[in-house]
Structure 1
Amino acid sequence: MATSIQSIRADTLAVDSPAASSVVFEPFNLPPSNQRQLGAPHPPGTAIPLALRPSRHSIENINLDDVITTVKELQSQDKLLTKQLALHGTLLFRGLPIRSADDFSRFAHAFGFKPHEIIGIVVDRPVLAPNVAPANKAPPDVLIHSHNESPQVPHAPEYIFFYGHKAPSKGGETPMSSSLELFRRVQDEIPEFVTTLTEKGILSRITYKKEVQYSGGSTLKEAFGKKIVDGDDLATRRSKIEAQIARYGRGTHTTWEWLDNDEGIVVTHRLPAIRTQPGTKLPTLFTGLASLYTRKNTTEQLYGDGTPIPEEYLKRLVAITEEIRVLHRWEQGDVLVYDNIISQHGRQPWEGEQTDRVVMASLFDGDEVPGAYGGADWAQVVQALDD
């Protein structure tokens, strides 16, 4: 079993047999506030993010079709971009001719990943283009702390794309950090926390209601009601919602309880917080505990046996996360790509109006769901069943 990450040379990223229209991506450095060298277990000198832009030669008369063709060809070379993601956790693409939701959708789909279907969505994400939605519609003053995407449910995406369509003049940065490095730091500093998480896992309890519970949140129908139609009676609506929950494929490890007066439902999952990176089998702290601790919402997370997680552990988890993260300062047209298994993201507040910051998201599945750490049957995480 491999226990280390292999370094991949990334002086430039170019196709083996370039055509005249091929785009060459070259790495470039960002300010220290936007880029840092990752700690163990990453190889020395590994940066987050790996920042890429078209070379001076290829930027002349660059068009999106050429960019998309090049991305597809790079992926055909033994999934070169996917491997860079597995090494760095996050890629930044800058200087590309991406100017709309449709442009962004075409670029993201070029990587060859399967679009992710969100089951049990907790935020409002209206569709803007194929597999593209607003990243988050919470008000500008709301801090969304670093987290892996969808750690509160059994069905999480493996890859996340963000496109900066409009950047605010102050604030609104997107954090990035390594879940592999986070695990190593937490294991070194509060090993008893890691031991308990490994043994017990997480009990994730999510409340869904008929009405929106907070600004930017979703409704019960948006979360599980895709099959509901006008005229369905109460029993039919509940049956259709329960059928969607059953698609998680978790058996007794996902349960639910209806609230009184048809107000909503509480869905409970028992899940691993410590998972593994495919290939290396390195443990990654796949979690949203820091985000939930700093911003209370509709999700409650406890140890897997239902006991509370000590506040001292959560405070230290927040502090470590802030120590190892960098904040991406958006430029219009930037695209960030995250390997969700090993890289966390979030959102800083900004000054101004809601419309001053427009970031879109596109979520995809890969070959494997973030896997379990340990042999307990409750720790197995699976893709949702086809509908």
Structure 2
Amino acid sequence: MATSVKQLGANPPKLDSAPSPSLAFETFILPSSNQRVLGPPHQGDTVIPLALRPSTHDDIQVDLDTVIESIKSLQAQDGILTKKLARHGTLLFRGLPIYNAEDFSKFAHAFGYKPHEIIGIVVDRPFLAPNVAPANEAPKEVLIYNHNESPQVPHAPEYIFLYSYRAPAKGGEAPISSSLELFYRARQEIPEFITELAEKGILSRVIYKVDKQYAGGSTLKQAFGKEIRDGDDEATRRAKIEAQIARYRRGKHTTWEWTGDGLVLTHRLPAIRTQPDTMLPTLFTGLAAYYKNAQVNTGARKNVTQQLFGDGTPIPEKFLAHLAKITDEIRVLHKWQQGDVLVYDNIIAQHGRQPWEGEQSDRVVLASLFDGDSVPGAYGIGDWAQVVQALDG
């Protein structure tokens, strides 16, 4: 089957004729609130997200098997979709025959990536299909500001798939922004902050407790206790949790302290990393999110994660506020349509979740996380600056 991706142009793209029916993905233009042209260091006329929809010869019906075959065909052609992700940061697929978690799982796996295991998960994500879980179960009033996935722990996914099973009438948009553009702007506007990040990195302190700390949060057992069995005594339980922490392979740069109701884990991590192949620096972080979320969200969520400079000194609020200012200027808010799939290159694109009106059940977004063939490169000074993939376990 012939498969292609047509480029965005001034006029709606036309599907080239072919001797036999075939599926293509053609680009289309979204409203300016949902899509924008990226600034430096991105190539000129690069949009985020790149919006794709299926187009067929002779108006044949598009079925999921054909879509999956086409995705696999594109990826077999030197990873076309992976390269699109590396350029645009985010892809939107619209108009696909994806109706449930199982369909979404099949579509996401067609890209050929390795499913990501979250070690040290901080939110509750029960599996609904192979490598598919709710994106976030936090109450609808809770803002989840732009961030890269899992910036507070050493082991982060390279690719994030989000699927809109149900879209609210008002609110609940998915923020999209470029981590490459964020770094470029920050280096120009707050260079002293970037210098400190490069020299010191980040100390990320994450609290895990036996019981959930907030609605939608995880427990200590969910985070690190997959080997724990009924009947294990306290010493055995702790040893099994510590063995999971060791899978991070961070050595002295990950430490922990047991408390009466859980543990506190401290990582020294790079907030600046480099994109594979291009080696462009990317601000891989949730710093603006912690700042913005704390301003509007109340309760225990504020105290679960704390991030400092790598030497333990506080990060001045003026830097966090400026990161949020830049993010507000460069992001778009994707208005979901039921069935939409957003695919993020997590190394260079940030995501989030806006509050919505109505019922909690009015917005249902599922997530699927994957690892890539390589991890981001180092930018800072010291062995702490290079992240590694966790050990299989």
Report the TM range for the smaller structure's normalisation. over 0.9
CA distance in 2, matches of 1:91, 1:18: 26
- Which residue identity is paired with 1:273? A
Match of 2:296 in 1: none
Gaps of 5+ in 2: 294-301
Match of 2:284 in 1: 286
**1:1-387 matches, cutoff 5 A:** 10-11=7-8, 20=20, 22-55=22-55, 57=57, 60-260=60-260, 263-295=261-293, 296-387=302-393
Residues 237 and 32 from structure 1, CA distance in 2 versus in 1: closer, same or farther, beyond 3 angstroms?
A: same
- Which residue identity is paired with 1:299? T
CA distance in 2, matches of 1:159, 1:15: 28
- Which residue identity is paired with 1:347? R
Give the conservation status (yes or no) of the 8 Å contact 2:173–2:333: yes
CA distance in 1, matches of 2:384, 2:369: 25
Query: For each residue in 1:233-252, what CA deviation from the matched residue of structure 2 results, as whole angstroms up to 9, or x when unmatched?
Result: 00000000000000000100
Gaps of 5+ in 1: 1-7
Give 3-state SS (helix, strand or coil) of 1:75's partner.
helix
Give the conservation status (yes or no) of the 8 Å contact 2:21–2:56: no
Query: For each residue in 1:265-288, what CA deviation from the matched residue of structure 2 results, as whole angstroms up to 9, or x when unmatched?
Result: 001000000000001100000000
CA distance in 2, matches of 1:267, 1:258: 9
Give the conservation status (yes or no) of the 8 Å contact 2:199–2:381: no
- Which residue identity is paired with 1:250? R
- Give the drift of 1:381: 0.3
Give 3-state SS (helix, strand or coil) of 1:161's partner.
strand
Residues 315 and 18 from structure 1, CA distance in 2 versus in 1: closer, same or farther, beyond 3 angstroms?
A: same
- Give the drift of 1:10: 2.6
Runs of 4+ in structure 1 off by over 4 angstroms are 11-21
Give the conservation status (yes or no) of the 8 Å contact 1:22–1:69: no
Residues 56 and 66 from structure 1, CA distance in 2 versus in 1: closer, same or farther, beyond 3 angstroms?
A: closer
Query: For each residue in 1:24-54, what CA deviation from the matched residue of structure 2 results, as whole angstroms up to 9, or x when unmatched?
Result: 0000000000000000001111000000001
Query: For each residue in 1:323-379, what CA deviation from the matched residue of structure 2 results, as whole angstroms up to 9, or x when unmatched?
Result: 100000000100000000000000000001110000000000001122221341011
- Which residue identity is paired with 1:309? I
**RMSD (CA atoms):** 1.9
- Give the drift of 1:19: 8.7
- Give the drift of 1:16: 12
Percentage of identical aligned residues: 71
Give the conservation status (yes or no) of the 8 Å contact 1:257–1:266: yes
Which range moved further: 17-26 or 139-148? 17-26
- Give the drift of 1:57: 3.1
Give the conservation status (yes or no) of the 8 Å contact 1:11–1:27: yes
CA distance in 2, matches of 1:209, 1:325: 34
Residues 223 and 194 from structure 1, CA distance in 2 versus in 1: closer, same or farther, beyond 3 angstroms?
A: same
Query: For each residue in 1:165-222, what CA deviation from the matched residue of structure 2 results, as whole angstroms up to 9, or x when unmatched?
Result: 0000000000000000000110110000000000000000000000100111000000
CA distance in 2, matches of 1:49, 1:19: 32
Give the conservation status (yes or no) of the 8 Å contact 2:197–2:380: no
Give the conservation status (yes or no) of the 8 Å contact 2:22–2:56: no
Give 3-state SS (helix, strand or coil) of 1:155's partner.
coil
Give the conservation status (yes or no) of the 8 Å contact 1:125–1:135: yes
Match of 1:4 in 2: none
Give 3-state SS (helix, strand or coil) of 1:24's partner.
strand
Match of 2:298 in 1: none
CA distance in 1, matches of 2:64, 2:346: 25
- Which residue identity is paired with 1:331? Q
Give 3-state SS (helix, strand or coil) of 2:243's partner.
helix
- Which residue identity is paired with 1:100? N
Query: For each residue in 1:132-167, what CA deviation from the matched residue of structure 2 results, as whole angstroms up to 9, or x when unmatched?
Result: 000000000100000000011110000000000000
TM-score by length of 1: 0.95
- Give the drift of 1:22: 3.2
Give the conservation status (yes or no) of the 8 Å contact 1:116–1:363: yes
CA distance in 1, matches of 2:21, 2:8: 20
- Give the drift of 1:294: 2.0
Residues 216 and 14 from structure 1, CA distance in 2 versus in 1: closer, same or farther, beyond 3 angstroms?
A: farther
